[in-house]
Structure 1
Amino acid sequence: MKVILKETIDTLGIAGSECEVAPGYGRNYLLPQGKAMLATPQNRRIMEQARAKLELQIAKEKKLAEEMAEKIKGVVCKLKAKVREEIYLYGSITTHDIKESLGSQNIGVERRAILLAEPIKETGEYKVPIRLYKDVEPEITVIVEAEEKQDH
C-alpha cells in the first residue's frame, strides 16, 4: 500500500514523502491516526501544494532538535545501583532509569530516543546517544556507581 506521510515517522521517512507500507499498518494505524494519506494523484497534488509549508516545519523541527542537542551534549547521569563482587549489578540499568535521571535534571526525552544497545550490567562510565531527530544524536555520559552498603 502506497501512502504519503503527513508527519515524520522515524522508521518510514520524513513528512511529505511517499512510501510503501504493509496494508494492515496503513489501514489500521497510519490512516486513522492522520499520520498518512493514500497516495492517489489528487492527494499527490495536495501534498505538492503543502510541501513548502512542510519543508518550513521540517526546518523548524531540526533547528529545535539541534538546540536541544546543545543542551543535552555533555550531560552526566549518575546512577547508583546495588552491586555484588564490586562491579556486577543486581539487575541492570535500562533506558527507563536513564529517562528518569534525565527527567530529574529537567531534560525530557522519550524512552525510545535513548539508544542503549543493551542494558548496563556493570559499574563504570558509558556513552549513550540520544536520537532527537534523524541526524541529530548527541551523547550523554552515564556513570553507574555502587550503592553504599549499610552496616547494621
Structure 2
Amino acid sequence: MEVILLERVTKLGQMGETVKVRDGYARNYLLPLGKALRANAANKARFESERATLEARNLERKSEAQKVAESLDGKSFIVVRSAGETGQMYGSVAARDIVEILGNEGFTIARNQVELNNPIKAIGLHKVELHLHAEVTVSIELNVARSAEEAERQSKGEDLTSAEAIYGVDEDALRPEDFFNPEAEYEDEDENA
C-alpha cells in the first residue's frame, strides 16, 4: 500500500514523502496513529492544503522533545532491585519500569519511546536510549543496584560483581589448583577412627 507520511518516520521517510509499505503496517500502525494517509488524489490535495499546519505542529513537538532531552541528557537514575551475590537479578528492569522511574522524577515518557531490546537482568550501570521524537534521541544511565549504598559505590566506578567484591579475594588469586590438587595425598578420615 502506498501512503503519504504526515511526519518523519524512522527508517521509512520524511514528511510529505509517498512510500510503499506493507498493508498491515499501514492499517495497524501508520493510519490509526495519524502518521500517514493513503496515497490517493484526494489525500494528496488534503496533505498539500494542510502542509503548513503539519510542519508547524511537527516543529512544536520537536522543540518540546528537545527541551525534555536537554533536561534528561546524561542523567543517572538509581533502580533498587534484589539480586544474588553474582549480580544476577531475581526479576528484571523492563521498559515499563523505566517509564515509571522517569514518571516519578517528573518526566512523561511513553513506553514505546524507550529503546530497550532486552530487559536488564544484572546489576550495574546501563545506558538506555530514549527516542523522544523522530529527530530527537537522548541517552540516560540506569544505576541498577541492590541498595542505595551499592548504587553510590557503583557510581564511583566500583565493580560489585567481581570476585573481590563478593568474596574479598583478588580474581587472580582464585585458581582451581588452589582448591583441588589431584596429586596431593589425602588421609582418609575413616582410617584414623
- TM superposition score normalised by structure 2: 0.65
> Residue by residue, what CA displacement relative to the aligned partner does 1:92-131 show, whole Å, maximum 9, x if unpaired?
1111211111111111101121112321121111111111
Determine the C-alpha separation between the residues in 2 that align with 1:39 and 1:8.
16
Note the aligned Cα RMSD (angstroms).
2.4
Q: Which residue of 2 aligns with 1:128?
A: 128
| TM superposition shift of 1:144 | 0.6
> Residue by residue, what CA displacement relative to the aligned partner does 1:55-101 show, whole Å, maximum 9, x if unpaired?
22221111111111012113221111111124111121111211111
Aligned letter for 1:92? S
Q: Which residue of 2 aligns with 1:66?
A: 66
* Stretch of structure 1 that moved more, 5-14 or 15-24: 5-14
Determine the C-alpha separation between the residues in 1 that align with 2:26 and 2:4.
10
Report the CA distance shift for 1:132/1:34 in structure 2 as closer, same or farther (over 3 A).
closer
Secondary structure in structure 2 of the residue aligned to 1:131: strand
Q: Specify which structure has the bigger relative contact order, considering alpha-carbon pairs within 8 angstroms and separated by 6 or more residues.
A: 1
Determine the C-alpha separation between the residues in 2 that align with 1:34 and 1:115.
19
Determine the C-alpha separation between the residues in 1 that align with 2:136 and 2:33.
26
Using the aligned pairs only, state the percent identity.
Answer: 34
Q: Which residue of 1 aligns with 2:80?
A: 80
Secondary structure in structure 2 of the residue aligned to 1:83: coil
| TM superposition shift of 1:7 | 4.9
Q: Which residue of 1 aligns with 2:170?
A: none
Report the CA distance shift for 1:6/1:115 in structure 2 as closer, same or farther (over 3 A).
same
Secondary structure in structure 2 of the residue aligned to 1:82: coil
Report the CA distance shift for 1:4/1:65 in structure 2 as closer, same or farther (over 3 A).
same
> Contact (CA 8 Å) 2:74, 2:139: kept in 1 or not?
yes
Q: Which residue of 2 aligns with 1:97?
A: 97
Secondary structure in structure 1 of the residue aligned to 2:136: coil
* Structure 1 unmatched runs, 5+: none
Determine the C-alpha separation between the residues in 2 that align with 1:78 and 1:19.
42
Moved over 4 A (4+): 7-15, 27-31
| TM superposition shift of 1:16 | 3.2
Aligned letter for 2:137? E
Determine the C-alpha separation between the residues in 2 that align with 1:87 and 1:96.
22
> Residue by residue, what CA displacement relative to the aligned partner does 1:13-32 show, whole Å, maximum 9, x if unpaired?
4543322222344456655x
Q: How many residues align?
A: 147
| Bigger CA radius of gyration | 2
